[in-house]
Structure 1
């Protein structure tokens, strides 16, 4: 069996349901509405409040999560992911192994991106306000794949890069929190970047999102040892040239 850089090997079901139960906070419909309003206001005021952005996604995304779940159930690999519920964090991924891989591999590119930008995979918020454990996993998987979208699109984790990735994710998933970031994120950009965003970058991102495979249906942990450029070609993703 290939190592894949995993501490938990393929075929083993994660302890997702135990984690879900330990973090889950049940909410009524009125409470959910209040959460949606309050977290949306805070996220718009400060887009770097990732905790508030996470709550917005959970409080507003039920129907989109159902659609994302169906999308995965209709795909053979997506079905396996939903069954095994793998996680992307230091408990499951051997990051030192990824650092030992050749430079051209997906795993090495990923860990180099994370190290260079001081991003810790363990900081992704745990889903709390989604009552269905399987739908809660879908949003957790979406969060833990976010950095791979940055990497595959060649977009840095700055405001412009975040806006473009949110457009990419919005088109592929229909997730409301992505729409929030895609529409209101440009407010934080200066005029020249907004011009380039509208005239150059957005058309490229929209094209990429429509033509490429959604990562929700990619068992990305099984591709760490693959050639990065070849893997990206297989997904149909091209780098967005930022100038």
Structure 2
């Protein structure tokens, strides 16, 4: 029997289909982390209803969270006006985010629409998380490298409890070399778990409304400490290796 879509773009899945998707996307994401389709599928297929309902409850209990759910903003290059962000002072959230996008050569328009989550409002919550992911990178100054992604996923897991972020935190380091593992386990996981647990819920931050805020003051307000510069640590390690 065909299942009826519950919102525009929705692809309803039977329980067996969802289970198979979890397995196939888990294997695919581990062996081919560069393939975003596996990451997307794993994220949505493991975004279990009780987890999303708990996140919704957290948003409903917060003034800003309620506003976000009511207004349902989307993060795109046009909604943010990237040219405006480019010309903001360098110490602002907006300019920090813009410079991060430029450095990493990514765009907010590349985030795929959610389609495998079975309730419209819960689908929006996951979409919101997905579109805010780059802000999490930008405020932490972490690049789109395997180490940077693992670190941000650990931060998000500690803060939001999304299962697929937890899977990435647990299994993705197996693909790292010894030096990378040492950095992750000794520097970035302690940072991610400490800050993720203690900072404000990332879903209750209306990033679009605070683009002109001073980035350092904002981090203090959110209780987020910036981790050591990952790119700099990698450069120093390369210099050290060459000198041996």
Instruction: Determine if contact 2:158/2:196 at 8 Å carries over to the other structure.
Output: yes
**Aligned residue pairs: how many?**
224
1:143 matched to 2:139: no
CA distance in 1, matches of 2:191, 2:99: 25
CA distance in 2, matches of 1:102, 1:200: 30
1:215 matched to 2:202: yes
CA distance in 1, matches of 2:188, 2:79: 35
Q: Give TM-score scaled by structure 2 length.
A: 0.88
Q: Which residue of 2 aligns with 1:82?
A: 69
1:42 matched to 2:42: no
Q: Which residue of 2 aligns with 1:33?
A: 19
Matches within 5 A, 1:196-235: 196-235=183-222
Instruction: Determine if contact 1:60/1:177 at 8 Å carries over to the other structure.
Output: yes
CA distance in 2, matches of 1:235, 1:136: 25
Cα deviation for residue 98 of structure 1 reads 0.9
Structure 1 residues without counterparts, runs of 5 or longer: 1-19
Please give the root-mean-square deviation of Cα atoms over the aligned residues, in Å. Answer: 1.3
Instruction: Determine if contact 1:110/1:151 at 8 Å carries over to the other structure.
Output: yes
1:65 matched to 2:82: no
Please point out which of 83, 96, 112 is paired with 1:125: 112
CA distance in 2, matches of 1:227, 1:80: 22
Cα deviation for residue 21 of structure 1 reads 3.2
Q: Which residue of 1 aligns with 2:181?
A: 194
Structure 1 stretches of 4+ with a deviation exceeding 4 A read: none
Structure 2 residues without counterparts, runs of 5 or longer: 1-5, 234-244
Instruction: Determine if contact 2:158/2:192 at 8 Å carries over to the other structure.
Output: no
Q: Give TM-score scaled by structure 1 length.
A: 0.88
Instruction: Determine if contact 1:168/1:206 at 8 Å carries over to the other structure.
Output: yes
Larger Rg: 2
Match of 1:92, SS? Answer: helix
CA distance in 2, matches of 1:89, 1:60: 25
